[in-house]
Amino acid sequence: MFGISQRSSAAFLVLLVFAVPLFAEDHVPRSGQFPPAGTGQYLAGELVVIDPVNRRGGLRLDGNEGERYHGGPLHYFAMLPYGMISFNGAPAELRDIPIGTHMQGYFYVPPVGEEATIPPLPKDMERYQLKHNHAVSLEDDFSFYQRRGQSWKIVSIDTNKGKINVAPVGQMAKDGISTPYTFDIDDLTKVWKGRTLVDLADISPQQVVQFNLGWSPGWRDKEFAVSEIWLDDESRKFATDLQRRRHVKYQKQRWLPGWIDSVEDNDFGGGTVTLTLFGGMDPSLYAELKATQEKGFGVAVAEKSLRTWFHRSDKKIGQVVEWKETENPPPGSSGIQVRMKFTELLDGYRPGRAVRVKCHDWLFVTMPSEERVKTIEEQKRSAVLSLP
Amino acid sequence: MKYRLAQLALILVVASNVQAADVSPAFDKTVQPFFQTYCLRCHNAQKQEGKFRLDTLSRDFADQTVAQRWGEVIFRMNSGEMPPKKEPQPKPQELGQAVDWISTRITEGEAARMARRGPVAHYRLSREEYGHTVYDLLGVYFDVNLPGAFNEDPRWHGFDRIGSLLTLSPSHVDRYFRAAETVLSRAFPDQPPKSQKGRRDANTAQEKWLQEQGLAGPVRWPIWPGHGQHLVNASAPGLYRIRIQLSALPSFKGRLPHLALWHHQLKRSVVGLDVSAPEDQPTVIEIETFLPEGNFNVMNESPGMLADGQTPSVTQFPFVNTKASRQNRPTGYRLFNDEGQSIFPLLIVDWVEYEGPIIPEADQRKREGLVPAKDGDLAEARECLRRFAMRAWRRPVTDAELDRYLKIVENERAAGEPFQSAYRAAMVAVLTSKNFYYLEEGSPEQRRATVNDWELASRLSYFLWSSLPDDELFRLAQQGTLHRPEVLRAQLTRMLADAKISRFTESFPRQWLQLHRVGAFPPDASLYPDYDKWLEKSLVLETTGYFGEVFSKNLPLREFLVSDWTMMNPRLAMHYGLPRPAASSLQRIALRPEDHRGGLLTQASILSLTSDGTRHRPVHRGVWVSEAIFGRTPPPPPPNVEPLAPTPSNQPKATIRMQLEAHATHATCASCHQKIDPLGFAFDNFDAIGRWRTSEQVAGGNGDDPAVNANGKLPDGRAYNGADEFKHLLVQDMDRVAEAFIEQLATYSLRRVMTIDDAPQIKAIAAKGKPDDYKLQTVIENFVMSELFQKR
């Protein structure tokens, strides 16, 4: 094709695979700007370590490019403040995702000024350095494929050999696996039907399923084990609902993240603040805010990790002047912009700075100590990934 | 009709039987027919328009109240207000005859009314006067406004020195006693207070920190709005000299910081001024002021942050300069905007030095010869006490009077008190005597129509200095020459030039213009977030400063109505949307027509004191103009008047004027409102805190905020469009305005409400000032030189 020999085209393909991180659209995130749709580097791997408080972690990337599986490091990453995490089809936090879950996400180079958040690899590992280490999204396979309309049809299952053959159905995902595939399966696989755990024997051809993947001895060859499988709609809805509930509770305690778009100061105190809520939250949370906007919202300053200091005390309460919604917001944004009047403003109300927004009716909760930023020193320490 | 007239005739006959007999044939021939034709139809037994009934109005003109009411009748007839335009109108001759009859009766009754007044009139000192009096007597600053010091004096239309209102209760006596003890213990302390010096420097012991931070320094104290630094201690009350080196940066919008000394124990500031100095060129502010005992913060009293107790890391970060120093936590207050400018007016203090209490030589001299030098010398004690009582009581003291006070000394000594302490008890008794806290005019044994020279001296000094006469006035009173026109005129000239005249130029306008009402209804913070305490003080400062300028430049009274200048400080300029004046203190600035200001009536103090904190009140504004400018108090509204309701959300937005006009269509309301409202509608272009506007912000209702309508017609039919034209219409009535002003001046200085008997003299004083264009000092001089001023 185009006069390129088969051999040379194979070589070009190899080059292309290696070159992806180098030549992908290198959108550089900036505070206060959401990335354009359709950008970001696709990466997938198993979640091996997490720092759930600071929303950071490390993935063992799929395959073995450049002998990475054998001798290379994890791919350490930080979630962008507006980065969205999904698990079992619902919004989630890193803490909700079991270690060992295969995840897929889109990543950017570090935002301007945050190049040090993920420290560079040691000299002897430098060749494995991937500069796309700030995630705008991270999803388990269940969420990733379901959201894109792709499911899997069981072709066959051989419990003796511990193999299951599946074929993608529905709308094919652009990234990830979109070809018939064989996965490992054994009696450690959790099989869900309805609201109960069932046996491998309940899996039968023609069933349309979603699953989550995990490590397999053939990882270097992109072999995966099915860690959890949902055989029917009810089981999937049940899983999603459980996660949704956990997420809603979590957000009500920590408040909805967003960032400041602009501040109009009064020199006699207070001012008007415009902020945009980040996307990816359960719609009921936005709806609750909208319905109670006349009571005003509390706004606490947050770090890029979305950690707050002592949010129940440090917040200021403002009155909503305007609630604006836009269609098709960019990735990371909810499309909801709120204009609020305050009698006092905090230093952290700065354009591009993350905040958390409290609905009047949510109960005040004091976060455990490790979640709070308590000192300037701690704030500095927490700005950099610190993992084994 | 026949029935009603017959009934009226019967009433008049009955009334004439029970009232003082009036046998004047002119009444039956001229006045009664006039009333029957033009008045009684609306003011009789069946109908009492304006709650006024003429048919039963007594004709006992020896009664002050009756004479006042007849005076009101004449005023309404003469002004054309009565009978109303829609009613049959009298011929000029008929009107003249009726007015003549009433006027004659009023004049005839004057002697009888005067005879009914007591031989001695007592006028208690207001607390403001008490404070000035003890300072001038003993050089002791006694803060009469301290909590618990004195009761607030009752006011009559703003005046707080009206004798008939200033009564005496046991609590007054108790407070006078405590005040006297305090004043005397400060004037003659057992141990003279040591003057202390103090210095605090922000950079002290900061070298190590600066080195660690790699900063050159010096460390300075940033003082943000609403915050202060405890830097001054006053070990004893008295005069203090304070020097502060500071920079004072305006907010990013140009608002200047307001430096104040804030008293910890009283929880209020005692000194305040706007300051300005670049960050790299600090200035030294020197303040010399009386301070009560206690600890003081150097405070930034500009509006801004509220200490709500929820923000833990307010401003606790070491500060060097506005470029290097920033909040160390994002949860602290936002102090700098996104361009790095200070959001708020910022004080940056380097050091503070203070010294006090300082006892000026002049104050020390006031105390000389008032306390016997030798213990046990009763003869000396008598002379000292005589000097003290004479000055304190503002008149000669008889030996018999002194004997009673020396008896106190003896009794105290007999009870074992040391001599000085016993003598002090007598001094306390002098200051708690009615002779001190009452100004007495008249003699029990002699009915006098005029005041004597001692009383005249006090009249003069309390009028112009709010305090007791000085030695010169005492000397002339003792000589009995003060009342002589040439002496009185010379003394007046001397007094007007004395520094103490500022007490008059500050106090009189406050009382005349009812400035105590400024801030009485604090503006709603959500509607007027920009309003702050310093603005509130500045509003009053503009008006009193304006009066002071008219006084010192001896400008015509007309300038109270219209002018092309005003007094302005930076805070006011910001409020008015005018350029910031050059200096940070109050100063005279020129106004342009497009500034929509000039005169008193469009000053924000006046416009806000007639508002209720949420909206302007045209009716209140009208009443104020009527009272302050024309000296006429409209009748109070009838009871149970429905308040104006907020505009329903499904109705178009309506201005207050629109609502009032609907309200005033009720017959019961219309008669008064058509006279009052036009005096207030003229100022509809000004909101509740006196800012210019062209549309009125209306809560509720739908549609755009409606445009302001400041057109109107005076009761006499003259039309105006807006406040400027209205003010010029008032200028056309200058004679009336001048008479009203003199009436206010007389009320203030004579400590009583003017009556119908004073009207001719007031008219005469005004007429005398007209050729000189009613210049203020000339008007004051004509008043002081008039019969009225010496009338008892």
The gap from C-alpha B347 to its chain's centroid, in whole angstroms, comes to 32
DSSP code per residue over A30-48: BTTBPPPTT-SEEEEEEEE
> Is the bond leading into B635 cis (omega within 30 degrees of zero)?
no
Distance, CA of B70 to CA of B58 (rounded, Å): 9
Provide the number of structural domains found in chain B. 6
Spatial separation of the C-alpha atoms in residues B244 and B257, rounded to whole Å: 14
The pair phi, psi for residue A57, each rounded to 5°, is -170, -170
Task: Tell which of B227, B329, B334 to mutate to test the A interface (max A CBs under 10 Å).
Answer: B334
Could you give the CA distance from residue B751 to residue B97 in angstroms, rounded to a whole number? 35
pLDDT in tens, A212-240: 999 999 999 999 999 999 999 999 999 99
Stretches where chain B sits below pLDDT 70 are 1-26, 111, 113-116, 305-317, 635-650, 663-672
Same domain, B246 and B183: no
Nearest to B343 among A267, A313, A343 (CB): A267
* A377 interface with B at CB cutoff 8 Å: no
Tokens found for residue B120: 């001695």
Do you find a cis peptide bond into B218, omega within 30 degrees of 0?
A: yes
B45 exposed, middle or buried (CB, 10 Å; 0-12, 13-18, 19+)?
A: middle
Name B215's Cβ contacts closer than 8 Å, sequence gap at least 6: B320, B324
Q: Name the range with the highest mean pLDDT among A3-17, A324-338, B261-275.
A: A324-338
Q: Is B558 helix (H, G, I), strand (E, B) or coil?
A: helix
Contact A347/B333, CB-based, under 8 Å?
yes
Min Cα–Cα distance to chain A from B707, Å: 24
- Residue B425 and residue B352 share a domain: no
- CA A245 – CA B275 distance, rounded (Å): 58
Nearest chain B residue (CA) to A312: B310
pLDDT by residue (tens digit) across B254-310? 899 999 999 988 888 888 889 999 999 999 999 999 998 899 999 998 887 655 444
A209 and A154 Cβ atoms separated by less than 8 Å:
yes
Contact B505, B551 (CB under 8 A): yes
- Residues B227/B302, Cβ–Cβ less than 8 Å: no
Residues of B in contact with A355 (CB under 8 A): none
Angle between helices B776-784 and B759-769 (to 10 degrees): 140
**Burial of A181 per CB tally in 10 Å (0-12, 13-18, 19+):** middle
Distances (CA, A) of B403 to A316, A362, B161, B385, B388: 71, 80, 32, 10, 14
Strands, E, within B620-737: which ranges? 711-713, 719-721
pLDDT the model gives residue B76: 79
Q: Which residues of chain B lie closer than 8 angstroms to A269, CB-CB?
A: 225, 303-306, 344, 529
Nearest to A269 among B303, B331, B338 (CB): B303
Do residues B571 and B303 make contact, with C-beta atoms less than 8 angstroms apart?
no
Q: How far apart are CA A276 and CA A259, in angstroms?
A: 6
Residues B286 and B322 in one domain: yes
Whether residue B211 is found in the same domain as residue B286: yes
d(CA B695, CA B711) in angstroms, rounded, equals 14
User: Are residues B438 and B470 located together in one domain of the fold?
Assistant: no
Cβ distance A44 to A63 under 8 Å? no
| Statement to judge: residues B699 and B552 lie in one domain | yes
Q: Do B311 and A343 touch (CB under 8 A)?
A: no
Contact B252 A263 (CB under 8 A): no
Give B-chain residues touching A316 at CB under 8 angstroms. 310
pLDDT the model gives residue B316: 58
Mutation target for B interface from A261, A264, A267: give the one with most B CBs within 10 A. Answer: A267
Answer yes or no: are the C-beta atoms of B19 and B105 closer than 8 Å. no
Do residues B34 and B141 share a domain? no
pLDDT tens for residues A291-327?
A: 999 999 999 999 999 999 999 988 999 999 999 999 9
**Are B332 and A269 within 8 A, CB to CB?**
no
For A6-146, CATH number out of 2.60.120.460, 3.40.50.2300, 3.30.70.260, 2.40.50.320 equals 2.40.50.320
Within-domain flag for B502: no
A346 vs B contacts (CB less than 8 Å): 311, 330-334
Q: Is A265 on the interface with B (CB under 8 A)?
A: yes
Alpha-carbon gap: B250 to the closest alpha carbon of chain A (Å): 10
Q: Which residues of chain B does A265 touch, with a Cβ-Cβ cutoff of 8 Å?
A: 252, 334, 337, 343
A263–B333: do the CB atoms touch at under 8 Å?
Answer: no
A 245-264 residues inside an 8 A Cβ radius of B = 263
Q: Which chain B residues contact residue A300 at CB under 8 A? A: 331
Q: Where in chain A is the domain with CATH 2.40.50.320?
A: 6-146, 149-247
Q: Which residues on chain B are in Cβ contact (under 8 Å) with A263?
A: 334, 337-338
A364 touches chain B (CB under 8 A): no
Q: Does domain A149-247 have CATH number 2.40.50.320?
A: yes
CA angle B652, B657, B663 (to 5 degrees): 90
Helix B378-393 and helix B419-431: axis angle, to 10°? Answer: 20
Using left for φ > 0, alpha for ψ between -120 and 50, and beta otherwise, residue A306 falls in: left
* pLDDT tens-place string over residues A351-379: 999 999 999 999 999 999 999 999 888 99
Answer yes or no: do B241 and B289 share one domain: yes
* Chain B residues closer than 8 Å to A264 by CB: none
Distance between CA atoms of B95 and B38, rounded to whole angstroms?
Answer: 10
Token look-up 């008043």 returns B783
B507 domain residue, yes or no: no
Residues A349 and A347: their CA atoms lie apart, in Å, by: 5
Residue B418 parent element (H or E) = none
B343 and B279 belong to one structural domain: yes
What does pLDDT average to over chain A?
Answer: 92
What pLDDT does residue B595 have?
94
Instruction: Give me the total of CB pairs closer than 8 Å, taking one residue from chain A and one from chain B.
Output: 81
Residue A196 Cα, gap to closest chain B Cα (Å): 47
User: DSSP class of residue A292?
Assistant: T
CB-count burial class (<10 Å; 0-12, 13-18, 19+) for B356: buried
Are A235 and A194 contacting, i.e. CB atoms less than 8 angstroms apart? Answer: yes
- The pair phi, psi for residue B746, each rounded to 5°, is -70, -40
Helix (H, G, I), strand (E, B) or coil at B529: coil
Q: Which residue does chain A place closest to B528, by CA atoms?
A: A268
Check whether residue B632 and residue B757 sit in a common domain: no
Question: Which of B58, B88, B116 finishes a domain?
Answer: B116
Please check whether residue A272 is in contact with residue A339, taking contact to mean a CB–CB distance below 8 angstroms.
yes
What residues have CB less than 8 Å from A232, skipping those under 6 apart? A193, A194, A207
CA separation for the pair B203, B225 (Å, rounded): 22
What is the distance between the alpha carbons of residues B41 and B49, in angstroms, rounded to a whole number?
Answer: 9
Which of A263, A316, A344 shows the shortest C-beta gap to B338?
A: A263
The answer to whether position B457 is within a domain reads: yes
- Long-range contacts formed by B91-94: CB under 8 A, 24+ apart: B94/B30, B94/B34
Per the CB < 8 A criterion, the answer to whether B753 and B747 are in contact is yes
- In percent, the amount of chain A with pLDDT more than 70 equals 93
CATH of A255-381, one of 2.60.40, 2.40.30, 1.20.120, 3.40.50: 2.40.30
Q: Confirm whether B503 is domain-assigned.
A: no
Which token pair is A247?
């997420």
Structure tokens at B651: 């109705």
Closest listed residue to residue B444, CA positions, set B118, B674, B84, B106: B118
Residue B666's pLDDT is 60
Q: Does the pTM of the predicted model rise above 0.90? A: no
Whether B306 sits inside 8 A of A310 (CB atoms) is no
Which residues of chain A form CATH 2.40.30? 255-381
> What residues make up the domain containing B133?
121-193+366-448
Q: Looking at the structure, do residues B290 and B418 belong to the same domain, yes or no?
A: no
Whether residue B54 is found in the same domain as residue B147: no
The mean per-residue pLDDT over the stretch A276-296 comes to 97
* pLDDT on residue B769: 95
Q: Please check whether residue B508 lies inside any domain of the structure.
A: no
Interface-testing mutation among B310, B331, B342, with chain A (most A C-beta atoms within 10 A): B331
Q: Residues 6 or more apart from A208 whose CB is under 8 A from it?
A: A151, A152, A153, A154, A169
Distance separating alpha carbons of residues B245 and B353, to the nearest angstrom: 9
Tell me if chain B has a CB within 8 Å of the CB of A376: yes
Interface residues of B toward A, Cβ cutoff 8 Å, are: 225, 251-253, 255, 302-306, 308, 310-312, 326-335, 337-338, 343-345, 525, 529-530, 532
Beta bridge partners of A77: A57
Contacts of B308 in chain A (CB under 8 A): 344
